[in-house]
Structure 1
Amino acid sequence: MSTPQTSIAPNAPALAAQVAPPSASLMSRPEFVWGVATASYQIEGAIAEDGRLPSIWDTFSATPGKVLHGDTGDGACDHYHRWSEDVDLIESLGVDAYRLSIAWPRVMHADGTPNRKGLDFYKKLLQRLADKGIQSFVTLYHWDLPQHLEDRGGWLNRDTAYRFAEYADLVSRELKGLVTGWATLNEPWCSAYLGYGNGHHAPGLSNGRYATQALHHLLLAHGLALPLLQANDPTAKRGIVANVGRGTTDSSKEADITAARRYEVQHNDWILQPLLKGSYPEELFKLWPGTEPLVLDGDMEIISRPLDFLGINYYFRCNLHSDGGTGFVDVPLEGVERTQMGWEVYPQGLEDLLRRFKDQYDRLPPIYITENGMASSDEVINGEVVDEQRMRFMKSHFAAVSRAMDAGVDVRGYFAWSLMDNFEWAFGYERRFGITHVDYQTQVRTLKHSGQAFKAFLALRRGS
């Protein structure tokens, strides 16, 4: 087992200042939750151990041409075996909380009975976190659908929503008392659009009608799970995590302004409006005519059940122009800062969206920023990883959240994406999002300068 390199430079205040939010920020309140985040398939590895079943991402990543360089999640960060060391790393950072996900294929057999070995893994992990005073925010579905359910139609099959409810029931009964907050789904937009709409993610299908129907069943699964989570683990918060995107235009043409608005309808309101208003945005189906999902009586009431919190994941904005019809095209701006993913660094977009959601949705629950981060091509040189761009990214986005809070947005916490470099889905291991570098050959973890600065900030916040 490797030992994380977590030393802090002697000048802690100067180091912390490289990422810290503005002085007197509401983010510095004692009750504000600071954390780091990961996801099961991206870090665990051990895909065939202790009864774990195949997932759609095992199938997808093993299909030639689907993932960059032919990478798979077979080994990932070997967290399944190194979890204790990784909890020590989390503790060393001084965070309040850790956001993780449960691997559905690891905890249930195909007949719906519990896989005790898989459940025991998460019980040990969560108990160790609790023993160290670290809150656990647990996501039930972070994209790793059991392959046997995909073979029966996956999220195109309404029955999958009911199988998810059974899974949520099992896991919340088994892990009750160990979880601070349950999130049903992570980024259903990605599961639906990237998985069923354009084929970029597992299961790799490409049909607009598939995307809207898959999204409806995902949200139905979410709504079905909420009362079960409440009954089984009543002291834990219940919510969902949505990825959001800022759409603007550099044009004054009405068609381009409309295109930018429709980007946000498709990217944000497609998810948030059914959750918070119980309806789908009509303008969505001007973008995608003829793709209205089959909605049965009572579905929208189930989907729009009250939430204790809303997780928001934010990474970038797009510059939109009209495609000449009802849709939009992304026209990348020149001369702007970008990350290894090619995404524009635009912290103002996070503030804009938080303020807009507050104004737009009367039922907006308290918000946690459950993912925010950037990829860079980091290397260990003389035992150090100097990632200055990530430190600037963190500081500017902390400031954006702080401004939104000053404007009255109820943000309760921030989770940096990610604790460590990991399997970045269709981009494999090339794109590094971690504040901790992972050598995938040796599994040595090295805290990057951004991680050291984050750690220094948290220590000063605690007064330690």
Structure 2
Amino acid sequence: MNRREFATCSIAAAAGVALSPRSGYAADTFSTAQIPGSVPDSLVNEARFPEGFLWGTATASYQVEGAWNEDGKGESIWDRFTHTPGKVRGGVTGDVACDQYHLYAQDIAMAKRLNQKSQRFSISWPRIQPTGVGAPNMKGLDHYSRFVDALLAAGIRPWCTMYHWDLPQALEDRGGWPNRDLANYFADYAGILAKHLGDRITVWAPFNMPWAIAFMGYAAGAAPPCRSSFSDFLKAAHTLALAQAEAHRAVKAASPQATFGSAYEMAPAYPKTDSEDDRAAAARYHAMNNVFFLEAAMHGRYPKAFVGEPPYEMMGFKVGDEKLLYAPLDWVGFHYYTRRIVADASKEKFLGGGNFSGTEIESNSPGGRDPYTRFRAAMPTEGPLTDSGLEVWPRGIYDLVTQISKDYNHPIIEITESGCGYLDSPDEQGRVPDTRRLQWYREVLAELARAIADGARVRAYHAWTLLDNFQWAEGYTERYGLIYTDFRSQKRTIKDSGLWYGRVAVSNRLDV
């Protein structure tokens, strides 16, 4: 995904893990003057993962598949967006991307070579229902059936995200996610997937980064459909939460062996100061950006994300919705990239919010980001930055995993995405020596191993991503893959980080 624009948003969103001296950790953990930097080699060398730990990678349909109008696929909002001049860096599209629609067999073979045991992929809704409703397109279902069979033949667990941002354009024309009817349309789609693929896929999540779907698309205007209305954001968020639960029920009804979880954006948020106000702001950030949808599923309610009374009427909340929202997850999945620093803005007069910076609405104007959550969030630069502009902060994954474990009674956790963008390319010998990426993974995974040693029930880690791909509005200017993609020839080259990750997957240790 586009990390500066979407991961930070997700992070931002996620950055909500309101980590403060009084949130369950030792007080000195969150003094900004004492937050540790890089991870010592001793922690990396001693890190161990449990037997049976699932090592994998994550991908997304629009970012890798190409074949944008083949075999009956309908137009998605990302097709419309990328075909609009001036929307994507370099004027490129995902029309071909990595051409994985045609080359999936070789990509799965490379994943097998890297000893992968889990592949998180997404299905394109308009490839299954070209207009988002009605009878399924069997050519689309047949493609994913072959894809799943190839994964299983390679000994790789198929892990399906049902929606990774490519909404059928026809449904956006009906109002998009602010239209409550989409919850039922999505449930119908989920039921089709479970009916046709549920005999082989047992691990399902409805959405990738639902907060980003709602906020980036309908409040910040940075992603399709590029609206900028906070009320539309709130309506979209409520529809997505309803759709999450309706899909849960549809999948379970069609496939009794199915397990249902999530792929939320999350990142730890630390209060800017030790003041009560900043700690409260970080807690609101956590509630809105990290666990908004998790609370809805687990408890049938929204967390305390707002200053004052929640704007339920603006959200379109109806009597009885709390029962519809409730659909307890079998496991909790979330991403990790970086962190956020959060400050309070509730005591200032709100003057309309801040300016969009490419990550979220960074509210430098009086009153904070919006009239309801009233905080400011910033990505710090105390640590080094990746080529994609995100701060390297390995400790964050430990704080995030242990916080979610504590707050949700130690659920099974899967890290659904985690990675870093660096622009290393093949050298004269054809090798890709991406040492910074390798070190990023070493340090982040060492902190994850520490969280597991401290009792977190983490069963899987999915690196973002298998191969360099189309990075949303950044086009092909960012590279997150363990495999280098030459987008002109479609030649794949495993990077040094990928070869190392393959050894980790065999040994369950990092000093390999």
The partner residue of 2:214 within 163, 170, 192 is: 192
CA–CA distance in 2 between the matches of 1:303 and 1:290?
Answer: 14
- After superposition, give the CA deviation of every residue in 1:118-148 in whole Å (9 maximum; x if it has no partner): 1111011101111122111011011111000
Paired positions, count: 443
The partner residue of 2:418 within 357, 362, 372 is: 372
Cα contact 1:239–1:308 (8 A) shared by 2: yes
Cα deviation, residue 284, structure 1:
2.5
Cα deviation, residue 399, structure 1:
1.5
Cα deviation, residue 314, structure 1:
1.2
- After superposition, give the CA deviation of every residue in 1:193-230 in whole Å (9 maximum; x if it has no partner): 11111011111111111111101111111111112211
- After superposition, give the CA deviation of every residue in 1:49-103 in whole Å (9 maximum; x if it has no partner): 1100000111112223322222211111000111111111111111111110100
| 1:251-266 equivalences in 2 (<5 Å) | 251-266=273-288
CA–CA distance in 2 between the matches of 1:334 and 1:370?
Answer: 25
Equivalent in the alignment of 2:162 = 140
Matched residue type, 1:377: L
| 1:120-269 equivalences in 2 (<5 Å) | 120-269=142-291
Cα contact 2:468–2:480 (8 A) shared by 1: yes
Cα contact 2:420–2:480 (8 A) shared by 1: yes
SS at match of 2:339: strand
CA–CA distance in 2 between the matches of 1:217 and 1:276?
Answer: 16
Matched residue type, 2:418: N
SS at match of 1:193: helix
Cα contact 2:65–2:97 (8 A) shared by 1: yes
1:407–1:304 Cα change, 3 Å:
farther
CA–CA distance in 2 between the matches of 1:338 and 1:288?
Answer: 36
Cα deviation, residue 180, structure 1:
3.2
| 1:20-59 equivalences in 2 (<5 Å) | 23=46, 25=48, 27=49, 29-59=50-80
Equivalent in the alignment of 2:336 = 314
Equivalent in the alignment of 2:295 = 273
Equivalent in the alignment of 1:69 = 90
Equivalent in the alignment of 2:106 = 85
The partner residue of 2:452 within 405, 428, 445 is: 405
SS at match of 2:396: helix
Equivalent in the alignment of 2:395 = 348
SS at match of 2:86: coil
Q: 228-237 or 386-395, which moves further after superposition? A: 228-237
Equivalent in the alignment of 1:99 = 120
- After superposition, give the CA deviation of every residue in 1:370-428 in whole Å (9 maximum; x if it has no partner): 10001112222121112111111111111121122222221111111100111111211
Q: TM-score, normalised by structure 1?
A: 0.90
Cα deviation, residue 291, structure 1:
7.6
1:367–1:417 Cα change, 3 Å:
same
Cα contact 1:181–1:236 (8 A) shared by 2: yes
1:461–1:334 Cα change, 3 Å:
closer
CA–CA distance in 1 between the matches of 2:42 and 2:164?
Answer: 28
Cα contact 1:208–1:291 (8 A) shared by 2: no
Q: TM-score, normalised by structure 2?
A: 0.82
Equivalent in the alignment of 1:298 = 320
Cα deviation, residue 339, structure 1:
1.3
Equivalent in the alignment of 2:469 = 422
Structure 1 stretches of 5 or more lacking a match? 1-17
Cα deviation, residue 250, structure 1:
4.4
Structure 2 stretches of 5 or more lacking a match? 1-40, 349-366, 369-373
CA–CA distance in 1 between the matches of 2:43 and 2:154?
Answer: 24
Runs (4+) of structure 1 exceeding 4 A deviation are 18-22, 285-292
SS at match of 2:158: strand
1:336–1:24 Cα change, 3 Å:
closer
Cα contact 2:53–2:508 (8 A) shared by 1: no
CA RMSD, 1 decimal: 2.3
Matched residue type, 1:80: Y
